Chains A and B, each alone.
Chain A
Amino acid sequence: MTFLQDPEFGDRIITLMAALVLVLQIAAVGQRWLVSSIRIFAVQSFLLAGIAGIIAYFNHASHIYIAAMLTLILKAGLLPWLLERLVRRIEIRREIEPLINAPLSILIAGGLTLVGYVVAQSFYHPEETSVRGALGHNTLAVAIALFLIGFFTMLNRRKALTQVLGLLSLENGLFLAAISLTYGMPLVVELGIFFDVLVAVMVLGILVFRIREAFDSMDVSKLRNLRE
């Protein structure tokens, strides 16, 4: 089992998993069933937890194990469960036609991935990083791409719940950026961020529910009473 000690092997696995995360994100762009979108998010979070676990294993960094566990429990388990329950309760299963249609959206997502690579290249200097070796700028590029595609999803979709999912995938991008750049933020900060994400999803969930009750719809483009 010598390959388990080989950092090169770890690097490859991480790159593979990061690529899968990106593929899932692009698949989510074209997805219109809410439950599928939620499950894509769950699988994505699962993969992120895996990446964090591998980094923790190869760097012997115990605090990343905790971050990985929390990601697994919260983002791959609890949050998707809460969101699916919300979908069942509000009885809306499908996204209405987004502003930009699916094929074009996927094309834009591909473009944003390229942007991610360009940005990552511009300020990432692996030769200057610490002796433990850098994780390759692939992961960072994927992280930035996740962030940008999350943004795009929030602009493009009109259902309140898909916007919440967009926000969550934005946050996933940040998590990936943090672990690939600096092997995670300090643990206290990481815990604080997890707490905030959890509370944010609950607050937004309550809001989605109340909006659905008041407007008989979850379409945020119907929220247009407040104007100049």
Chain B
Amino acid sequence: MILLWLLIVPLVASPLAYVLRKRHFMEAVNLAAFAVLLCLAATLGVRALRSGPVSVWDGFFYADALSALVVLLSAFVALVCSIYAVGYFRHDESNGVFREGEELGGGPAINKLREYYALTPLFVFSMILVALANNLGILWVAIEGTTLASVFLVMFYGRETSLEAAWKYAIIGGVGLSMALFGTILTYYSAHQALGTDTLAGLNWSVLVGNASQFDKPTMRLAFILILLGYGTKAGIAPMHTWKPDAYSEAPIPGAAMLAAGVLNCALYGLVRFYILSAKCLGPGFASHLLILFGLLSMGVAVPFILVQKNFRRMLAYSSIDHSGIMVLALGFGGPLGVLGMLLHMTFHSITKPLLFFCAGNVQQQLKTDLFREAKGGLIHSMPLTGAAFLMVTLAVTGAPPFSLFLSEFTILRAGFSRGYLVLAVLFITFLVAIFSGFLIHIANMVLGPDPGLPPADNCRWKRSSVAGLALVIIVMGFWIPAPLFRLIQGAVGIVTSGR
């Protein structure tokens, strides 16, 4: 039953926010829905730990520890983003950002907000569905659903550049996902011969995983390549990453944060499910080499663009490309240690990334620009909280100790060394160091320095509480991972490495 509630809550919240019309009500609906969702997700996590996989409707929806982890992370990201969104859009409204859109026929501001508050729950619904769908075809439908629900978030501001970003996002995403669909069809075909079933269960992951060793191998090979390209496009790994900087810099901050921390997990989740099948069918070697190649390529592509970046919103996107590369690489290293590194990284990244976006959003709203050139430095004087949090989260996101992403990156490094990938591990460190220095120089230049005499900002209650609260979570997680969460991650590692 809990699986159905997880889906019903966001599905009800969407039309409810749409009909309520008043800003306060819409905000309240979103906040309440995502708070309930987080509680449900936590309950699901506990259930999955205690009594194994949960399923309803003959296994149509199915949640093991891996799904529960992704659901939990999605719900967490949705909640923190919705808290921040309240402050962010109120600021936008008082800044008169929507007025420009009104002249272009975008309608009054309240309509824009309605669009946001009604689409976000749908967006979250598709993310939850990705994790709960047992059927690999439904998984595909749900991932496509996340794209469709978020296209309007990308073109939210209705500027010419937003249209361009939304177009790229929709078309590149659409082509990528059609490859993933082809991969899904081929997986079905290769399983079809082994299982000989025509029923719905023939595409259920929980059924497939038991029989994966009998699948037709050449077909499965092609299927995995297509899946990697398809879901890789959605996760933004190079060379299919080109939509990412545009979409992330044009979407409103809460939407962009959900793309970066939520959809990324969903796409990688889809990839992991197929990785498990392919590892059982073909042995881990075939998938590993491809994953390592694409993972390192993504990290490598991110390096120069972060070093010479002119626009801090786009820099966040390259950081996201870098991180999805890290996770794909970790999966490629494989073994219990590599997978543990990947899932730890996914968890910590989902907690850290939203704060980076929130800080960038606060700075952008204060300066009304997203170019480093126009930020004169010394932001910490006018925005003490945001400035400090920005520096802290920069260190956290680039994997500096004592923050938790250091722990996961270190685990991945150990996995690389223990598997004998010496050269690749060294390359991994080099990329990390380059990104660390590039990131830190850019952000430090912007935050530190003499006071340029800007009026004090940082006085919105909602923005302050989301930034401070999330910063606290990140600091605490650096030193202490709650035991149930860690057990959930370990359970998920067990699923990836052994298939149950």
* Chain A contact residues, CB within 8 Å of chain B: 61, 119, 122-123, 125, 128-130, 147, 151, 154, 160, 163, 167, 170-171, 174, 177-178, 181-183, 185-189, 192-193, 195-196, 199-200, 203-204, 207, 210-211, 213-215, 220, 223-226, 228
Contact = CB atoms under 8 A, between A and B. Distances in A.
A225 B200 contact: no
Contacts of B171: 154, 163, 167, 204
Interface string B166-208: 1110110011001001100110110011001011101100000
A188 B135 contact: yes
A210 B158 contact: yes
25 contacts: A123-B216, A154-B175, A167-B171, A170-B175, A186-B135, A186-B198, A186-B200, A188-B135, A188-B138, A188-B200, A189-B138, A189-B140, A192-B137, A192-B140, A192-B141, A193-B141, A203-B148, A204-B174, A207-B167, A210-B163, A211-B164, A214-B163, A223-B168, A226-B161, A226-B164
Interface of B: 104-105, 135, 137-138, 140-141, 144-145, 148, 151-152, 155, 158, 160-161, 163-168, 170-171, 174-175, 178, 181-182, 185-186, 188-189, 192-193, 196, 198-200, 202-203, 216, 218-219, 222, 245-246, 249-250, 305, 314
Contacts of B161: 225-226
Given A207-B167, A225-B164, A186 B144 contact: no
B141 A183 contact: no
Given A167-B171, A207-B155, A189 B163 contact: no
B310 to A, nearest CB: 8
B167 A160 contact: yes
Contacts of B151: 203, 207
B305 A228 contact: yes
Interface of A is mostly: helix
Nearest to B147: A200
Highest count of chain B CB atoms <10 Å: which of A183, A185, A204, A226: A226
A12 B182 CA distance: 25
Contacts of B104: 213-214
Contacts of B168: 223, 226
A192 B148 contact: no
B192 A182 contact: yes
A116 to B, nearest CB: 12
Closest 5 CB pairs of A and B: A189-B137, A192-B141, A223-B164, A186-B200, A123-B218
Contacts of B163: 207, 210-211, 214-215, 223
